[in-house]
Each structure stands twice: as structure tokens, then as C-alpha cells.
Structure 1
């Protein structure tokens, strides 16, 4: 767990507010304002460049995201939101899964503890996560939202977007990458529909039946299909343990 010499973090828990020309989802649609009140916007910045990630509020003072968004980065994470309903909150600690590997994006999950609780209201809310015994089925239609690119090249539009993606058989992702792990990953996306998450969407939730079942992770060279997301049900015992260790109610 990072507790000393850590970069400054702040998170913006938002609904569907406008963002300053960040990068967005491919083949999706503009989200209805405040329809995704659990979304958090993280912008990583150092002296040479900046990049953006998503995240989602699972407790008033806890956010889940992808480990590669913060791994080995001495950066400043901040929110450049402008809407009145946004809440800018620092993260005091975060813990990356101990088996995380950037190669293949294995165990690509991080839990961030906020320095203060977010104010829960109509525009900022938590989302439930899948329990250890809950799994999505092949063919389930789920939703992902984020500020990632809408095409291979920037810029994107300036609003939160969302896209519906279908859960695929594990063997489809296994054919594409030897790094795919069926126990800890979910294979998502239909190549015929040309819809996908892309750069800037990492860390956002895969929402199925109003629960977060996956986390947008690193993809393969083909930006459209398929995508391997971190499977939350696999990590739920670890998440619960970290919530207790950091003094958060599970």
C-alpha cells in the first residue's frame, strides 16, 4: 500500500458532466447527464505528458480503478471538471493487487481510499460490486462508460459516453492472447458491432444488471475486439480484505 512519498491524487466523482476535450469510447452514445453517478475521473500528469483514466465509487470514501493507471507513476492526479455537482477529493492511500503484472495486464486492479467521504446525493452515488459467487454469462449485455477516445486518433468529444458490450466466450480472448486468464478476466465485445473501450477508458466499470462486474483493463492491438476486463467477482474477497485493512466498512 502506498502511504508515504506518494503522488498527490484527487478524484472527481461525477455523473455525465462535460470534460475539457478528453478522449472517449468508440461506437457508443452520449450518456444521459448524471445517469452514471458512480463515475470518477482521474487525470495523470507529469512534466512531459498527461493521460486520463476512469474509476468508480464503491463506498463514500473508496474508489476502484485499474492498477496500470497508477503503477510506478510519480504523477499528479487531478480533476479538471467544471460542473457545479462535481466533487474534488484527494486520495490518501491506494493499494495495488500484489499479483499485478503490467505485461498482459494481469490482476489489473487498484483500490483507492479517499481522504474524506464523498457527499452522497442525486448526482454522486456508489455502485454495488459483484460478489465472489456472482458471474456474468456469455451473451449478457453490459454497459461501460468513460472519457476514452471515440476513434483511433484524438481528439474525442467533451462529454461522458457509454457503450453496450456483449460478454463473450473465454476461448475467443484466449485465441487472441496467451495472457488471458479466465478466472480473473472477462472477455467482452462483439467484433461485428465495432464497439469498444479505448485509450482513456481504463479503470471504468463494466456494469451488468446494475452491478459492477468488471474493470476496463488493457486491450490488445485491435482496438475494437475483443477486450479483457478484470473480473470483480474473482477479486471481491481481496477488495473486502483491503476495505477492512484501510478502516473502511466492507
Structure 2
């Protein structure tokens, strides 16, 4: 209907691996997306409870063989000692030979403020370096200070819920999104899917 606008969805910078024409970003739930080509996003990580394989609760991005970038809120109520980081996954309900599993030895946050949703970024140190190859690779990060301008085309991905009351998917989902700056707070990244009921959701 003319004159009505959908509010943009705020995206945590690590989850929406912002792929600026092929570069990576991260998001939090994929609604209205599509199944990713198996192992085509080798930098995506799944955070799971160590005693419950396949219990994905948050996504992350491999930015160094031994470091994963994720959201600070993901481990706000879960001790990092109880978390397994899985790389090289596509189907979380299958023991794929490409998967590599790690424990966490240390976490680094930067003044995370949950009340204001500021600095919602967490760096996770793995217990050993990842073995890099076709199924596991480090993401290409933007340059220091590089901004995501209005209209930048990005790719959101994850195993987050398929809807507010829907379950999480078995396989990695992805969705083309567009960066918007209107109605978006400073230091946040906001995206919109024009003319579609699609976006990101919990646990991406």
C-alpha cells in the first residue's frame, strides 16, 4: 500500500557477514530465504551446547584460524565453557566429514551494553587453529573504517528460526538483503528485503 514502509531490521555486524559484492556479513534469523549450496559459506560457524550435539543457538564467523566473531548476547547467559564451536557444517543434524569441532579457551568483548544493544560483538578464541580448506575458510573482512552505505547488497546467513514461532532449520539458510540507513541507530547495521516478508531472526 502506498505511503506505508516496513521498519528496517537491525543486524549485528558479526552475524550479518556483510558480503559487499562478495564480501562476508552476519545475521540472526533467516525468514523467507533459501538453502545455501552445501559448504559454499565456509566461514560460517555454529555455536552449540557442548553436551547436546546439534543444539545450535547462535551463529558466528571465522575471521582467523583460531578466532570466531559472534554476538555478545549469545553468551550473556551461557558460560563459554559449555559451548562447542562447529565449523564446516551445512546439515546440523548430520555428522558431516567436513565438520570441525572446537572448545573455547577465552572470550573477548568490548563494553557490551545489553540495555542499549551497543557493542554486541564477541571474539571467541578456539582451543586450536582450524584446518583451512574448501569447507572451512577465513572470511574476507572489510577495511578498517569502511562503511556500509545505503543500498549496499549483502548476504545474510545462518541456522536461525524460519519464523518467530517456527523451528530452526537443519541446513544453512541464506538471504539477499539491502543495507538501509533510515530509522537506523548510529553504529548499527540495518537491512531490509524490499517488497517481501523476509529478513533475519533468532539464532542466526
Q: Normalising TM by the smaller chain, what interval?
A: 0.7 to 0.9
2:100 corresponds in structure 1 to: 87
TM-score, with normalisation over the residues of structure 2? 0.74
Matched, 1:67 2:63: no
1:26: Cα distance to partner? Answer: 0.2
1:73: Cα distance to partner? Answer: 2.6
Contact 1:24 1:160 in 2 (8 A): no
2:83 corresponds in structure 1 to: 77
- The whole-number CA distance in structure 2 between the counterparts of 1:84 and 1:24 is 26
- The whole-number CA distance in structure 2 between the counterparts of 1:151 and 1:124 is 28
1:77: Cα distance to partner? Answer: 1.4
- The whole-number CA distance in structure 1 between the counterparts of 2:134 and 2:72 is 29
Contact 1:163 1:196 in 2 (8 A): yes
SS at match of 2:116: helix
- The whole-number CA distance in structure 2 between the counterparts of 1:91 and 1:53 is 14
- The whole-number CA distance in structure 2 between the counterparts of 1:126 and 1:116 is 15
Alignment deviations for residues 19-38 of structure 1 (CA, whole Å, 9 cap, x no partner):
xxxx9510100000111000
1:109: Cα distance to partner? Answer: 0.3
Aligned residues: 167
Structure 1 residue ranges without an equivalent (≥5):
1-22, 174-179, 202-250
With over 3 angstroms needed to count, the CA separation of the structure-2 counterparts of 1:51 and 1:88, relative to structure 1, is closer
RMSD: 2.3
1:100 corresponds in structure 2 to: 112
With over 3 angstroms needed to count, the CA separation of the structure-2 counterparts of 1:153 and 1:72, relative to structure 1, is closer
Kindly indicate which of the two structures has a greater share of residues assigned to helix.
1
TM-score, with normalisation over the residues of structure 1? 0.61
Structure 2 residue ranges without an equivalent (≥5):
1-27, 87-91
With over 3 angstroms needed to count, the CA separation of the structure-2 counterparts of 1:61 and 1:51, relative to structure 1, is closer
Alignment deviations for residues 24-77 of structure 1 (CA, whole Å, 9 cap, x no partner):
51010000011100010002479xxx7600001011001100000112433621
1:195 corresponds in structure 2 to: 198
The partner residue of 1:164 within 176, 186, 191 is 176
1:112 corresponds in structure 2 to: 124
1:156: Cα distance to partner? Answer: 3.5
Per chain length, whose mean CA-contact separation is higher, i.e. which structure has more relative contact order (CA < 8 Å, sep 6+)? 2
- The whole-number CA distance in structure 2 between the counterparts of 1:152 and 1:145 is 16
